[in-house]
């Protein structure tokens, strides 16, 4: 078979075009494979074992309020040792680094006379309900960013429940326990 120059050129062009197209396809496949690999990886990462575990733990930890009924104020006296450097809790006790905490439970947030609160806490408004106290004592900084209370917080819900009961014992007309 004899092909003319133009026929040969035509085949050459066709073959080149086919090879180029083919490599393009292969390229696509490679890119696609990459995407797949990435997706598969992401899904694996989203196995979220530890994260979910942490969330569940967080939920269990979240509230001291549910523990109030079973917690003891006596235990709270012990927990309060962590607060004593900055707080008195007796009626008529002095403000120290922090305000006196008599009548705090159920009272106005940032409401103790003669103490100069941070704007962060003064701007909160509302009352120290058991829920609010629980949140504040868990992490003062998260509850009121910029608070002057430089105390990391009580991570254990049982500690918070006990110290809240202890403060409640130093309150004239505390709100009923939930
Ligand atoms: C390093 C000192 C320090 C320690 C320790 C500390 N506090 Fe405070 N606390 C403060 C200061 C300062 C404020 C005022 C915060 C502000 O104005 O932002 C405050 C505010 C408070 C308030 C709000 C009072 C109000 O009148 O609204 C409560 C409740 C409280 N503290 C409870 C506790 C308890 C309970 C502990 C111990 C578990 C504790 N604090 C440990 C310094 C401290």
The tokens describing 97, both together, are: 């680094």
Least trusted range by pLDDT, from 8-17, 20-29, 75-84, 89-98: 20-29
Confidence of residue 49 (pLDDT cuts 50, 70, 90): very low
The yes-or-no verdict on residue 145 having pLDDT over 90 is: yes
Ligand 1, atom nearest to 116 Cα:
17
Count CA atoms closer than 13 A to 42's CA, side-chain side: 6
> Closest Cα to atom 36, ligand 1: which residue?
83
Question: Which is the closest atom of ligand 1 to the Cα of 120?
Answer: 18
Mean pLDDT for the stretch of residues 100-128: 98
Where are the domains positioned within the chain?
5-47, 64-168
DSSP one-letter string for 32-61: HHHHHHHHHHHHHHTT-HHHHHHHHHHHHH
The pocket around ligand 1, CB under 6 angstroms, is made up of 82-83, 85-87, 97-99, 101, 104, 109-112, 117-118, 120-121, 137, 147-151, 154, 163
Output the residue whose Cα is nearest ligand 1's atom 17: 117
What's the pLDDT band for 32 if we cut at 50, 70, 90? low
Q: Which atom of ligand 1 is nearest to the CA of 85?
A: 5
Distance CA 49, CA 41 (A): 15
- pTM assigned to the model: 0.73
* Sign of the alpha-carbon torsion through 143, 113, 81, 128: negative
Instruction: Tell me which CATH code domain 64-168 carries.
Output: 1.10.760.10
């Amino acid at each position: 078979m004899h092909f003319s120059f133009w026929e040969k050129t035509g085949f050459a062009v066709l073959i080149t075009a086919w090879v180029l197209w083919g490599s393009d396809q292969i390229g696509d496949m490679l890119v696609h494979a990459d995407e797949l690999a990435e997706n598969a990886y992401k899904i694996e990462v989203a196995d979220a074992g530890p994260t979910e575990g942490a969330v569940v733990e967080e939920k269990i930890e979240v509230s001291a309020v549910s523990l109030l009924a079973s917690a003891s104020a006596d235990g709270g006296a012990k927990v309060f040792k962590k607060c004593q450097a900055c707080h008195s809790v007796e009626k008529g006790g002095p403000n120290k680094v922090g305000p006196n905490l008599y009548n705090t439970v159920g009272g106005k947030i940032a409401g103790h006379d003669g103490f100069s609160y941070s704007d962060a806490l003064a701007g909160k408004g509302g009352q120290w309900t058991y829920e609010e106290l629980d949140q504040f004592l868990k992490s003062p900084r998260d509850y009121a960013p910029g608070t002057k209370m430089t105390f990391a917080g009580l991570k254990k819900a049982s500690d918070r429940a006990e110290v809240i009961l202890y403060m409640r014992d130093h309150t004239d007309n505390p709100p009923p326990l939930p």
